[in-house]
Amino acid sequence: MNEITKELHRIVDENGPVTFKKFMELALYHPKYGYYTKGRFPGGISGDFVTSPHTNELFGALMARQLIQMKEILGTKKFTIIEMGAGAGYMALDILNFLRKMGKSEEFNYVIIEPFDNNVLLQKHILRDFIELVEWRSDTAGISDMEGCFLSNELLDAFPVHLIEKDKGVWKEVFLVPGEKGFDEVLMQPSSVDVEDYCKKWLNDLPDGYRTEINLEIKAWIFDLSRVIKRGFVITVDYGHTRNEYFHPSRNRGTLLSYFRQQVSEDIYSDPGNRDITAHVNFSDVDYWGKEALFDTVGYSSQCFFLAGQDVEKVIEILEGKKRDPFSPRNAALKSLLLPQGMGESHKVLIQSKGVETDVQLNGFKFTNKKSRL
Ligand SMILES: C[S@@+](CC[C@H](N)C(=O)[O-])C[C@H]1O[C@@H](n2cnc3c(N)ncnc32)[C@H](O)[C@@H]1O
Kindly report, residue by residue over 40-80, the tens digit of the pLDDT.
Answer: 888 887 888 889 999 889 999 999 999 999 999 999 999 99
Bridge-based pairing state of the strands 229-241 and 281-282: parallel
What separation in angstroms does the CA of 13 have from each of 112, 176, 270, 359? Answer: 38, 12, 20, 55
Distance, C-alpha 5 to centroid of its chain: 26
Which atom belonging to ligand 1 lies closest to the Cα atom of 221? Answer: 19
Task: Identify the burial level of 245 via C-beta atoms within 10 angstroms of its C-beta, where 0-12 means exposed, 13-18 middle and 19 or more buried.
Answer: middle
Residues 351, 364 contacting (CB under 8 angstroms): yes
pLDDT of residue 309 exceeding 80: yes
Domain range list for the chain: 3-34+162-214, 52-159+216-263+275-373
Classified as helix, coil or strand, 358 is coil
Residue with CA nearest ligand 1 atom 24: 85
* Torsion angle in degrees (nearest 10) through CA of 42, 47, 51, 57: 110
Instruction: Identify the helix (H) or strand (E) that includes residue 354.
Output: strand 347-354
141-162 per-residue burial string, b: 16 or more CB within 10 A, e: under 16:
eebeebbbbbbbbbbbbbbbbb
What is residue 139's DSSP assignment? S
Q: What percent of the chain has pLDDT over 70?
A: 98
Q: Is it true that domain 52-159+216-263+275-373 has CATH number 3.40.50.12710?
A: yes
Q: Cα of 337 to ligand 1 centre, how many Å? A: 20
Report the alpha-carbon distance of residue 77 to residue 79 in Å, rounded.
7
Maximum C-alpha span of the chain: 65
State mean pLDDT over 176-192: 95
Phi, psi dihedrals of residue 373, rounded to the nearest 5°: -85, -10
**Higher per-residue confidence, 329 vs 8:** 8
CA 222 to chain CA mean position, Å: 12
Computed over every residue of the chain, the mean pLDDT equals 94
For residue 337, is pLDDT > 90? Answer: no
pLDDT(107) > 80: yes
Asked if the model's pLDDT at residue 336 lies above 80, the reply is: no
Round to whole Å and give the CA distance between 247 and 267: 21
- State pLDDT tens for residues 213-271: 999 999 999 999 999 999 999 999 999 999 999 999 999 999 999 988 888 888 899 89
Distance between CA 322 and CA 41 in Å, rounded? 34
Percent of the chain at pLDDT > 90 equals 82
Local structure of residue 190 (DSSP, 8 states): -
Q: Whose CA is nearest to atom 11 of ligand 1?
A: 85
CA 344 centroid distance within chain: 15
pLDDT digits (tens, 9 = 90+) for 114-163: 999 999 999 999 999 999 999 999 999 999 999 999 999 999 999 999 99
pTM above 0.85, yes or no: yes
DSSP 141: T
Tell me how far the alpha carbon of residue 183 lies from the centroid of ligand 1, in angstroms: 26
Atom of ligand 1 nearest to the CA of 139: 20
Q: Which residue ranges have their beta carbon within 6 Å of ligand 1?
A: 36, 43, 51, 53-54, 84-87, 113-116, 119, 153-155, 158
Q: Which atom of ligand 1 is nearest to the CA of 37?
A: 25
